[in-house]
Amino acid sequence: MTNDHHIIEVENLVKKFGSFVANDHLNFYVKRGEIFGFLGANGAGKTTAIKILCGLWKPTSGRIQVAGFDVYKETEKIKRNIGYMSQKFSLYEDMTIAENFTFYGGIYGMRMPGIRKKMSFFLEKLGIVEYKDRVISDLPLGWKQKLAFSIAIMHDPAIVFLDEPTSGVDPLTRRQFWDMIYEAAHDGITVFLTTHYMDEAEYCERVSIMVDGRIEALGTPSEQKKQFGAESMEEVFIRLARKQ
């Protein structure tokens, strides 16, 4: 029943907290190598769904597979096959760049030669090889963000989850960050991300919009704009999120 081209499959995902339904029968899939935008208003239930997809929380009901693994029984396998980066940096501020690579590589089960290889690959790409012994807290915000992303994909995960990765950065860094996202997707890593920047919704191949625990729209940005007769994704978003 599982489709080989789908790296994430979600059927009737329900998550309740007491009587509150945070995720109300979500149905969607994400294609291998796709950039998928997971949008929604604050409190719509996005974070809950992401925690379930990452194997951190158990759903109340539904059939959910991530990278071919079951979210009820195979959470450890899921964790080894995904990368995660949130708006609050996942890097340790009082450790150096090199120490962060070593630490996370170790967590992901990588060995030292592999870690060293990846570290020099990313540091060269970012043009910061000579800074590898700098403590994270001394680095500019844009660097931290790019490093956090590099570390989130250093173990070649099948999927990387990005939770508001570009919050608060300058417009130039935001675009450089998107260059990295495109490159990762180009290399076959599936990108699953949330954002409040509506222009970034346009950069995604497909976008879902959650309102009050449900997915109210799903499709390519151009399909959605056509469906709602809207000029931009911002207009689509505001129309959907306002109607409650």
**Nearer to another protein among residue 222 and residue 227 (C-beta):** 222
Measured from the CB atom, the residue of 12 and 232 that comes closer to another protein is 232
CA–CA distance, 125 with 132 (Å, rounded to integer) = 13
The correct pick among 140, 187, 223, 227 for binding another protein (CB under 8 A) is 140
What the block records as the tokens of 21 is: 């339904």
When asked if residue 117 is in the footprint of another protein (CB under 8 A), the reply is no
Which range of residues in 5-13, 113-121, 152-160, 173-181 is near another protein by CB under 8 A?
A: 173-181
Report, in Å, the least distance between residue 89 CB and another protein. 11
Which residues, numbered 83-102, are part of the site for another protein (CB under 8 A)? 87
DSSP string, the chain: ---TTEEEEEEEEEEEETTEEEEEEEEEEEETT-EEEEEE-TTSSHHHHHHHHTTSS--SEEEEEETTEETTT-HHHHHHTEEEEESS--S-TTSBHHHHHHHHHHHTT--HHHHHHHHHHHHHHHT-GGGTTSBGGGS-HHHHHHHHHHHHTTT--SEEEEESTTTT--HHHHHHHHHHHHHHHHTT-EEEEE-S-HHHHTTSSEEEEEETTEEEEEE-HHHHHHHHT-SSHHHHHHHHHH--
Query: How far apart, in whole angstroms, are the C-alpha atoms of residue 224 and residue 242?
Result: 16
Q: Does 17 bind another protein (CB under 8 A)?
A: no
Q: Which of 169, 180, 189, 215 binds another protein (CB under 8 A)?
A: 169
Q: Nearer Cβ to another protein, position 106 or 168?
A: 168
Give the closest residue to 195 by CA, choosing from 68, 119, 71, 86: 86
Q: With contacts defined by CB under 8 A, name the span among 11-19, 91-99, 113-121, 160-168 that binds another protein.
A: 160-168
**Could you say which of 2, 56, 137, 182 contacts another protein (CB under 8 A)?**
182
Interface map 212-231 toward another protein (x if CB under 8 A):
---------xx---------
Contact stretch for another protein (CB under 8 A) within 19-27, 106-114, 120-128, 166-174: 166-174
* By the rule CB under 8 A, 106 interacts with another protein: no
The yes or no reply on residue 43 touching another protein (CB under 8 A) is: yes
Binding residues for another protein (CB under 8 A)? 40-43, 87, 140-141, 164, 167-173, 175, 178, 182, 186, 196-199, 202-203, 221-222, 232-234, 237-238, 241-242
